[in-house]
Structure 1
Amino acid sequence: MSTRHTIAILVNDQPGVLQRVSGLFGRRGFNIESITVGSSEEPGLSRMVIVTKGDDHTLEQIEKQLYKIIDVIKVVDIGSSPMVARELGLIKIGADPSARPEILGIVDTFRAAVVDISPNSLIVQVVGDTDKIDAMIELLKPYGIRELSRTGVTAMARGSAR
């Protein structure tokens, strides 16, 4: 059965690591649904968070292949235990002044924020899990989404798990 997996990968902060990791997924025919990369708590190391789909055997193969990449330090399936996962979305909506009260109602419901206003548009920032971002996008579609940018998922295991 194909399920969604969230994998955290600790890597040396070196040029080309992202390319080698993403290339591994492509060569093996594994799709990356989301990928985020940034600094970690350790100087010289970066953390990648990748969301992919596959069965347990596929996940096992991905982990084995990742450890063959010299700059990969640690691979953890954080989706297998309780985790905190967040994504950021920026949504530009065509919004004349008459539609703004309705849009602001949606923004408030989702605890989102308007981060830019122009005479004919609004940019809304929403932070949450993937389902929350998807739901907000669906509700804003009737107003005319002009542009959409999402960060991808970043995540951590809850509590003291690491």
Structure 2
Amino acid sequence: MKLHTISLLVNNHPGVLHRVAGLFGRRGFNIESITVGQSEELGLSRMTIETSGDNKTLDQVKKQLNKLIDVVTVVDLSANTMVARELVLIKVRVLPHTRPEIFSIINIFRAFIIDVSLENLIVQATGDRIKIAKMIELLVPYGILEISRTGVTAMACFD
């Protein structure tokens, strides 16, 4: 199954997110990731949804989304070159003897320490799914206490 990234421009009204997510649930499509925020156009929001499936499934998803009244446009970003990023906050246990190793990992991934105490720290990182997964994998042995991820947000590249 291929991962697809879909960008929706939708009316910024109460219940729109519920209707879009409900469509996915009723049709048996899984949402791997979803992010929503204001767009460049007043009164419209942009949703970035990652879903998995074959091309036939994706076509069906796009057709169903286009039928929703509050959906203005549906674009398959994964059909062309795109830029995709995710934000993650990771709370990691820190001991005096592990601090240099953890700092080294954070520097390698160009992440930032945004809060620190004697026993733990919070790291902020942005990047693609693979980069985030690798950083988490390297921090697991030190003791990850909590993770909060935004989901992917994406934009088509210039042609």
TM-score range, shorter chain: over 0.9
Unmatched segments (≥5 aa) in structure 1: none
Aligned-partner residue type, residue 155 of structure 1: A
Is it true that 1:110 corresponds to 2:77 in the alignment? no
Q: Deviations over 1:97-150 (max 9, x none)?
A: 221100000000000011110110010111000110000000000000000000
Unmatched segments (≥5 aa) in structure 2: none
Residue in structure 2 matched with residue 28 of structure 1 by the alignment: 27
Aligned-partner residue type, residue 51 of structure 1: E
Residue in structure 1 matched with residue 67 of structure 2 by the alignment: 68
Percent sequence identity over matched residues? 63
TM-score where L is the length of structure 2: 0.99
Distance in structure 2 (CA, Å) of the matches to 1:31 and 1:97? 43
Residue in structure 2 matched with residue 129 of structure 1 by the alignment: 128
What secondary structure sits across from 1:159 in the alignment? coil
Q: Deviations over 1:58-80 (max 9, x none)?
A: 00100110011100000000011
Distance in structure 1 (CA, Å) of the matches to 2:96 and 2:115? 14
**Superposition map of 1:41-52 within 5 A:** 41-52=40-51
Distance in structure 1 (CA, Å) of the matches to 2:43 and 2:96? 49
What secondary structure sits across from 1:21 in the alignment? helix
Distance in structure 2 (CA, Å) of the matches to 1:77 and 1:33? 15
Residue in structure 1 matched with residue 90 of structure 2 by the alignment: 91
